[in-house]
C-alpha cells in the first residue's frame, strides 16, 4: 500500500501528446510502477497481443485473452499483473492532441470505447480483422518520421479511424447498446461535470444548474440509462473515490475525509457505512486481506 495513488501526466518533451509504447519496455523499465495502483491524465488503448492476464480497473477484474484490445479512460485506477509474461503495445494520447474542434470533443466524449457506462470496453481482435492492426502499424511507421507540419494531423486521422473501426468491432462482441438521444447526452454531460466537481459539490441542484435542466429532467435521464437517481449516481462516484483511497493508499481515514470534501471525519464514516454497511476501517481491512 502506498501513501497515495500515483497520478501520471503525459510525458514532456515529445513532439505531440501521442505515443505508442511496447509492453516489453514497460515491464522492463517500469515494472514496479505499473503493478501498483495508478491513474493517468490521458487515454490509453492497450493491445494485449500475447499472454492471458487479469487487468484490474477500478475494482473490476478484466479478464484478458491473447489479442484483446482494452480501452482505459482518463483517471481510471488500474494496475498490471507483473507476474504474467504478456506482450503487446499501447497507445497514449490526450484531449489536447485529439480534440482540435468541437466535433472532435463530442466524438471522444460520446465514444463507447471510453464512455461505456455499463462496463470497461474491450474486444478480442479476430484474425480476419487486420485493418486495426494495419492502422496501428501505420501510426508506428509515421512516428519514425521526423516531425513536420503534417505529422500530427496524419496521426490524429489514423487514431480517429482506429477508434471508428474499434467501435464497430466492439458493437459486434457482447455489447449492450444505449440509444443515442437527449437523455444519453444529459447523462454524459452529468458524468463529466460529476468527475470534475464531486469533491466540492455533492448536491443534485448544482449539476442541474450547470446543465440548465430541472431535477425532474435529470432524474428522468439517469433513471432511463442507469436505473438510478442522480443522487445515487453522485453517491456512487464519491464512494468509488473513497474505496480507491482506502484500498490503494495508506492515508488515514481523517485525511481521506478531508480530501473528499467532508467537514468532519465522523460525517465521512457515517456516510460510508450508510452506503456500504462497513466502516472505512473495516473496508480497508477486508480489501487488504483479500
Q: What is the pLDDT of residue 1?
A: 56
Residue 272: domain span: 182-289
Q: Both ends of the chain: CA-CA distance in Å?
A: 13
Task: Give me Rg for the CA atoms of the chain.
Answer: 20
Indicate the pLDDT class of residue 52, thresholds 50, 70 and 90: confident
DSSP structural state of residue 226: T
In a domain, 177, yes or no: no
Residues 45-66 have a mean pLDDT of 88
CATH number for the domain that contains residue 228: 1.10.10.60
Within 8 A by CB and 6+ apart from 259, the residues are 199, 245, 251
Within 8 A by CB and 6+ apart from 94, the residues are 10, 17, 18, 41, 42, 43
In a domain, 37, yes or no: yes
100 and 214: one domain? no
Indicate the pLDDT class of residue 3, thresholds 50, 70 and 90: low
Residues 179-202 have a mean pLDDT of 88
Of 73, 79, 36, which is closest to residue 61 (Cα–Cα)? Answer: 79
Q: What is the pLDDT of residue 177?
A: 60
Chain segment 72-93, per-residue pLDDT in tens: 988 888 888 877 778 899 999 9
Q: What is the pLDDT of residue 248?
A: 84
Domain boundary among 153, 172, 191: 172
In a domain, 194, yes or no: yes
Which residue is listed with cell 461535470? Answer: 193
Residues 130-152 have a mean pLDDT of 92
Domain boundary among 140, 172, 204: 172
44 and 131: one domain? yes
> Residue 193: in which H helix or E strand, if any?
helix 182-197
Which residue is listed with cell 464512455? Answer: 115
Q: What is the pLDDT of residue 289?
A: 58
Q: What is the pLDDT of residue 112?
A: 81
pLDDT for residue 54 is more than 60: yes
| CA angle 187–94–45, rounded 5-degree value | 80
Q: What is the pLDDT of residue 280?
A: 93
Q: Enter the pTM of the model.
A: 0.78
Within 8 A by CB and 6+ apart from 262, the residues are 268, 271
Amino acid at each position: 500500500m502506498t501513501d497515495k495513488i500515483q497520478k501520471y501526466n503525459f510525458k514532456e518533451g515529445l513532439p505531440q501528446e501521442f505515443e505508442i509504447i511496447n509492453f516489453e519496455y514497460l515491464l522492463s523499465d517500469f515494472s514496479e510502477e505499473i503493478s501498483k495502483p495508478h491513474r493517468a491524465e490521458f487515454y490509453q488503448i492497450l493491445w494485449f497481443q500475447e499472454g492471458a492476464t487479469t487487468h484490474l480497473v477500478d475494482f473490476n477484474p478484466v479478464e484478458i485473452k491473447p489479442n484483446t484490445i482494452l480501452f482505459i479512460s482518463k483517471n481510471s485506477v488500474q494496475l498490471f499483473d507483473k507476474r504474467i509474461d504478456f506482450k503487446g503495445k499501447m497507445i497514449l494520447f490526450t484531449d489536447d492532441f485529439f480534440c482540435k474542434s468541437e466535433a472532435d470533443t463530442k466524438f471522444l466524449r460520446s465514444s463507447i470505447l471510453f464512455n461505456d457506462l455499463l462496463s470497461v470496453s474491450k474486444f478480442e481482435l479476430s484474425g480476419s480483422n487486420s485493418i486495426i492492426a494495419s492502422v496501428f502499424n501505420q501510426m508506428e511507421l509515421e512516428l519514425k518520421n521526423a516531425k513536420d507540419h503534417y505529422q500530427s494531423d496524419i496521426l490524429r486521422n489514423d487514431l480517429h479511424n482506429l477508434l471508428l473501426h474499434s467501435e464497430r468491432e466492439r458493437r459486434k462482441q457482447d455489447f449492450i447498446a444505449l440509444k443515442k438521444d437527449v437523455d444519453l447526452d444529459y447523462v454524459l454531460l452529468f458524468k463529466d461535470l460529476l468527475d470534475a466537481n464531486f469533491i466540492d459539490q455533492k448536491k443534485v441542484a448544482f449539476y442541474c444548474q450547470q446543465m440548465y435542466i430541472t431535477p425532474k429532467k435529470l432524474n428522468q435521464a439517469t433513471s432511463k440509462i442507469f436505473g438510478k437517481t442522480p443522487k445515487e449516481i453522485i453517491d456512487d462516484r464519491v464512494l468509488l473515490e473513497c474505496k480507491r483511497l482506502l484500498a490503494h493508499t495508506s492515508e488515514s481515514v481523517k485525511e481521506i475525509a478531508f480530501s473528499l470534501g467532508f467537514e468532519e471525519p465522523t460525517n465521512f464514516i457515517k456516510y460510508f457505512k450508510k452506503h456500504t454497511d462497513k466502516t472505512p476501517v473495516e473496508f480497508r481491512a477486508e480489501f487488504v486481506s483479500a
